Structure 1
Amino acid sequence: MRKIIIISLLLMNLLLVNSAFANSDIEYFPQNQPPSVIELAFLRELGQPILETMSAFGDNQLFEFGRIEKIERNRQNDYYDVSLKVIAFEGAHDQPFKLINITFRIPPGESAGKYKVISNKAVIAYKAKKITPEEVEKLSKFTN
């Protein structure tokens, strides 16, 4: 009888530990195939916040070839972290090209005091790097 109680307690403990890790879901978007209609619609909705974020970080360029890389849902705090990439350009789709990676937290919630908030989205990560026309060709392969 004592063994049954101990085993039951261990199993219940395992269930409690596992439920703590189930507070977030992550969905990755395949980059080696064209974007889905849902991804395209979401990117269109994020267009203005992307431009405003780029400008706020000193990249006063336009962008194209947007792709969502992943969305992480935090169930406990009720927010989504949306990681995406775009290719920035100047003039008539001309150099210099930059690969811009942005992660938005939607809604910003408590993180609003910790991060820059643009268009009611907290920018929790921003990275820009110059890329070559060959890299633009490779990265934009599945965006058209």
Structure 2
Amino acid sequence: MKKIIIVSLLFMCFLAINSAFANSDIEYFPQNQPPSIIELAFLRELGLPILETMSSYGDNQLFEFGRIEKIERNIENDYYDVSLRVISFEGAHNPPHKLINITFRIPPGLPSENYKVISNKAIISYKAKHITPEEVEKLSKFTN
């Protein structure tokens, strides 16, 4: 009986130690409250790469209401995947509005044919869709 308990404890310790060496960490940013100062600073730093990315995908508009949704850290390969969203507009903040989701890899890592690299950031994904004024209102609620 003692052997079973000791083996079980050793096995549980092994699992606890092994889980400490995970390959990635993910941090989600709450979207139902105003952005933190660190999020605002990071979005400001990403402003030019966001505009350049939008332009490279044919969305020659300006943007506002940026939010970082999540950051995933890959410990093994030493990079961060930063997923964010912005709302684009034309003219004086006029429609048409688009919801644009971008995931950047920072640093971009080794050159790859799979990803565009803009401003030393790899573009892992880019999605754009037209949204209604009501959707703009809902998505911008906590960004001011």
Q: Same fold by TM-score, threshold 0.5 exceeded?
A: yes
CA distance change for structure 1 residues 2 and 138 in 2, over 3 Å: closer, same or farther? Answer: closer
Instruction: State the AA in 1 paired with 2:15.
Output: L
2:95 matched residue in structure 1: 95
Q: How does 1:8-19 map to 2 (within 5 A)?
A: 10-11=11-12, 14-15=15-16, 17-19=18-20
The aligned counterpart of 2:125 is 125
Amino acid at match of 2:39: E
Cα distance, 1:137 vs structure 2:
0.7
Q: Does 1:28 align with 2:25?
A: no
Partner secondary structure for residue 135 of structure 2: helix
**Structure 1, 112-121 or 78-87: larger mean CA deviation:** 112-121
Q: Percent identity?
A: 76
1:23 CA drift (Å): 1.8
* 1:109 match: secondary structure: coil
> What is the aligned partner in structure 1 of residue 104 from structure 2?
104
For 1:73-106, what per-residue CA distance to the aligned partner results, in whole angstroms no more than 9, with x for missing partners? 1111000000000000001100100000000000
Residues 29-67 of structure 1 deviation map (CA, whole Å, 9 limit, x = unaligned): 110111111000000000000000000011010000000
Note the residue ranges of structure 1 that are not aligned, 5 or more in a row. Answer: none
Aligned to 1:81: 81
Report the TM-score when normalising by structure 2. 0.89
- The alignment yields a C-alpha RMSD, in angstroms, of 1.8
Deviation at 1:118, TM superposition (A): 0.5
Q: 5+ unaligned residues in a row in structure 2: which ranges? A: none
The structure whose residues are more often helix, as a share, is 1
TM-superposed deviation, 1:6: 5.4
Amino acid at match of 1:123: I
Segment drifting more, 72-81 vs 2-11: 2-11
SS state at 2:72 partner: strand
Q: Give distance in 2, aligned partners of 1:4 and 1:29.
A: 42
